[in-house]
Amino acid sequence: MAIGSSDITTDDSRVDSSGATTAKEKGLVQIVWRDILQTSDWTPHKDVTCPTFCSIGWLISRDGKEIKIGNTLVVSSADDPPGTPYAVTSFPTGCVENIIFLEKKEQ
Q: How far apart are CA 83 and CA 27, in angstroms?
A: 11
Q: How far apart are CA 71 and CA 88, in angstroms?
A: 7
Helix ranges restricted to H, the chain: none
Question: DSSP character for 76?
Answer: S
Rounded average pLDDT per 10-residue block, the chain, 107 residues: 43 46 70 96 97 97 97 91 94 97 76
Give the pLDDT of residue 25: 55
